[in-house]
Structure 1
Amino acid sequence: MSMATIFTRVRENYSRGEDRPLGGYLRAMGGYTGFVGAAVAVGRARGARLPERLSWSDAVLVSVAVHKASRLLTKSSVTSALRAPFTRFEGSTGEGEVAESVPPSGSHRHAVGELLTCPFCSGVWLATAFTTGLVLAPRATRLVATTLTTIAGSDYLHLAYDAAKSAVAR
């Protein structure tokens, strides 16, 4: 039995009649694995050493930066041009964000669309990139992470300000 036949059978058993882009998901996981492999190769070539542990402050900094970066990538009006080949505009959701849907196709386009519209999914990739950056280029990574964290803090202050204005107006 060929691998293609096995994959077709697995896909049919898994999807239960739905058009699920398992091949696209496999390619996405392959891309992620390739990214991690390339990072390891670059690290070894540069003689980078893994830290014993990351500080709690780096963990908090990167967590907030990944949150903001994933929202920018997956929801921001400005970055919708990056998602447009893989999504359909559904409407504005306020605060500079948009709602988009992924075309119901089982292709790689569907899988990429899901990755580009899901902050939880893209967060895995972004967290890996930031964590890798802390090992390979810590100063530049902390600068970018600090910028994104500052923007996230500003966003929350804008929302709190608007909420306070609304509460006073009542």
Structure 2
Amino acid sequence: MEPVSRTPTAPADYALLSGTFASLLALTAVAARNRRPIPASEYVPLATATFALSKLLVHEKVESWVREPFVEETEDGRRPKGRGLRYAVGELLTCTRCSGAWSALGLVALRTHSPELAKTVTTVLTVSAGNDFLHSGFTWLASRTNIETARADAAQPG
């Protein structure tokens, strides 16, 4: 990520995003005041769901409509477009770690406000992340098998 001095943004653009995040975080904390704390047993599913949601927003074609006003698709990948706040939001939508913080806030806010709905959403996203993990493992295993098969074939005499 480029320093602010080398982007078409001003510090105020990032301050607006930070202020919005801080305000939403404060509202979530206030809403959670008189509620039971989220049990530690839900942290891993929430983290996994956060991973899946941020990956969905930043990388998946199905969410390109969300990114389109802020992100330009190029042959080299994605880059923020526009100037000012639009560019800053584009940076957010090209960074899974950055969008992960916002995804986590949204999921925890949902969990605070509507625990049963949040459990359903978290379950879907967690299972989706598990699916990604299994597909990655299968792809790795298949590529290792192909490499070993090619080695064995090359070692065969004439």
Q: TM-score normalised to the size of structure 1?
A: 0.74
Structure 2: state its 5+ residue gaps.
Answer: 148-158
Residues 18 and 107 (structure 1 numbering): CA distance in 2 closer, same or farther, change over 3 Å? closer
Identical amino acids, percent of aligned pairs? 26
TM-superposed CA distance for 1:21, in Å, is 3.1
Structure 2 match to 1:138: 115
Which whole-Å deviations, capped at 9, do the CAs of 1:36-95 have from their partners, x for residues lacking one?
Answer: 354456x38xxx7233x4323200000000001000011111111111111110248xxx
1:50 aligned to which of 12, 22, 35 = 35
Residue identity in the other structure for 2:35: L
Q: Secondary structure at the match of 1:85?
A: coil
**Counterparts of 1:139 and 1:39, CA distance in 2:** 17
- Of 143-152 and 29-38, deviating more is 29-38
Runs of 5+ unmatched residues, structure 1:
1-13, 93-98
Aligned to 1:108: 85
2:46 corresponds to 1:62: yes
C-alpha distance in 2 between matches for 1:110 and 1:68: 24
Within 1, Cα distance between the matches of 2:113 and 2:66? 27
Q: How does 1:10-159 map to 2 (within 5 A)?
A: 19-39=8-28, 43=31, 49-51=34-36, 53-91=37-75, 99-103=77-81, 106-159=83-136
1:96 maps to none
Distance 1:60 1:35 in 2: 22
SS in 2 for 1:88: strand
RMSD: 2.4
Q: Partner of 2:12: helix, strand, or coil?
A: helix
Distance 2:67 2:6 in 1: 27
- CA distance in 2: counterparts of 1:29 and 1:16, whole angstroms: 18
